[in-house]
Amino acid sequence: MAATDHSRNPDCLIVGHPYTAIGMGAHCRGVVRSLAAAYGNLSVHDVYKYTQPMPREAREFGPLLTEQFTAPVRIFCINGDEIEPVVGKIEQKQPGAFAGGYNIIYPMWELPRYPQEWARQLEKFDEVWSPSLHVDAALRAAVGKPIVHLPIAVEPRVHELFDRKYFGIPESRYTLLFFFDALSFASRKNPWAAIDVFKRVLAKRPLAKLQLVLKVNNSARDAKSLERLKAEIEPIRDRVTLIDKTVTEEEVKSLVRVCDSFLSLHRAEGFGLGPAEAMFFDKPVVVTAWSGNMDYMTPDNSLGVRYDLVPLVEGDYPHWQDQVWADADLEDAAQKVLSLFENPEFGRQLGKRAGIHMRTHFSYRRQGLRYREQLQRIASTLAQEH
């Protein structure tokens, strides 16, 4: 294959959190890796620099880091509530720097209505990229700037392997994996539904060799939810592996690989990186069939769970007013989990199709080419204007 010609690509600066272990950090890293695979002429600005990078990430992103805002095109991988402090910090260091280029923002959001106070901040940018059709619809209804739908890449990298014994997972049981990050709001991630579904499956097949694996992150930030979770699993404690500790990205990827299937009964997702990465690793997934994850889920590659849209109430989520989200049909979810357990070959084939789909349509290279096309379109427009 001929080398990619980057000579006509304008310099591009990615602004965000390249080292942080949060969703927007992963988003930033994915954009950088996608552009590195297909674009070149790339630099990265670490907004706050409060995270000490892991050695592998330091080697990957360190050479790209810059404090300069001279690139003509910038992509901000930040959310609406970050705009004011981030832009303020840039302007404090380099007055006029923000206005000196074409600024793109690439935010995440989970609910159908984008918050108005954030939408006003987005108007500072020349263009807005949306990571899923779900987010795209919310942005188009709230923001007057050009909106471009550009799904994010899903290409998890594994450099170290950890087995079931390492995580304390029984070797002989069919495992169902569920992720819960306390920073993502228990009400949205809905761990209680996952536990309920698992109990329903056990009630139907009490002797089945089934194990629920609950990976909890940042539990100290929501002690009340953790206590409730522990109380919910107490009657079936021997059937649940609870992993409540900070783990590396490598360990998380291995955890997905050693489990048999993935469950997410979320009420809303901006994109849904957890199910997407599980599918990349050829895992069958049982997931609420609504919101951002429908960008990559089809009846042929996953098991979508039926749902009802219900209104949010105060305390459910930030900016809850006039919002709806999905309430998954737990019996439908239980039947779908049971179908995977009782027909392992069906699950393997479903997972295989999922992996092919994700690697074909959501690789760094594939998304990087989409980014490149849009950035070259921007460069052409800017050249005509000048």
Asked if residue 43 is part of any domain, the answer here is yes
Radius of gyration from C-alpha coordinates of the chain? 21
Question: 329 and 307, same structural domain?
Answer: yes
Gap between the Cα atoms of 94 and 83, Å rounded: 16
CATH number, domain containing residue 90: 3.40.50.11930
Q: Does residue 7 lie in a domain region?
A: no
pTM as predicted: 0.94
Residue position matching structure tokens 């994996």: 177
* Tally of structural domains, the chain: 2
pLDDT score for 8 = 59
134 lies in which domain range?
Answer: 12-153+363-385
CA–CA distance from 334 to each of 33, 179, 330, 338 (Å)?
A: 37, 17, 6, 6
**Are residues 128 and 245 located together in one domain of the fold?**
no
For residue 231, tell me if it sits in a domain. Answer: yes
Name the nearest CA neighbour of 331 among 343, 323, 322, 339.
339
Whether 312 and 377 map to the same domain: the answer is no
pLDDT digits (tens), the chain, 386 positions: 334 444 557 799 999 999 988 889 999 999 999 999 999 899 999 998 877 888 889 999 999 999 999 999 999 999 999 999 999 999 999 999 999 999 999 999 999 999 999 999 999 999 999 999 999 999 999 999 999 999 999 999 888 999 999 999 999 999 999 998 877 788 999 999 999 999 999 999 999 999 999 999 877 778 888 899 999 999 999 999 999 988 888 899 999 999 999 999 999 999 999 999 999 999 999 999 999 999 999 999 999 999 999 999 999 999 999 999 999 999 999 999 999 999 999 999 999 999 999 999 999 999 999 999 999 999 999 888 86
Are 133 and 112 in contact by the 8 Å Cβ rule? The answer is no
CATH code, 207:
3.40.50.2000
Per the domain annotation, does 4 fall within a domain? no
Q: Are residues 178 and 249 in the same domain?
A: yes
145-158 residues labelled b (16+ CB within 10 A) or e (exposed): eebbbbbbbbbbee
96 belongs to a structural domain: yes
Beta bridge partners of 56: none
Q: Are 205 and 189 in the same domain?
A: yes
Residues 95, 40 within the same domain: yes
Do residues 337 and 376 both lie within one domain?
Answer: no
Residues 231 and 354 in one domain: yes
What is the Cα–Cα distance from 302 to 338, expressed in whole angstroms?
A: 14
- Residues 85, 169, single domain; the answer is no
Residue indicated by tokens 């620099």: 49
Amino acid identity for residue 358 in this structure: M
pLDDT of 342:
97
- Angle between helix 364-385 and helix 23-38 axes, rounded to 10 deg: 80
Question: One-letter amino acid identity for 137?
Answer: A
Is the domain of 321 the same as that of 267? yes
CA distance 354 to 285: 9
Considering the domain boundaries, does residue 238 fall inside one? Answer: yes
pLDDT of residue 2: 39
pLDDT of res. 258: 98
* Residue whose entry in the numeric block shows the structure tokens 């600024």: 103
> Is 257 within the bounds of a domain?
yes
* 118 and 253 share one domain: no
Identify whether residues 347 and 223 lie together within a single domain. Answer: yes
18 domain residue, yes or no: yes
pLDDT (0 to 100) of residue 51: 78
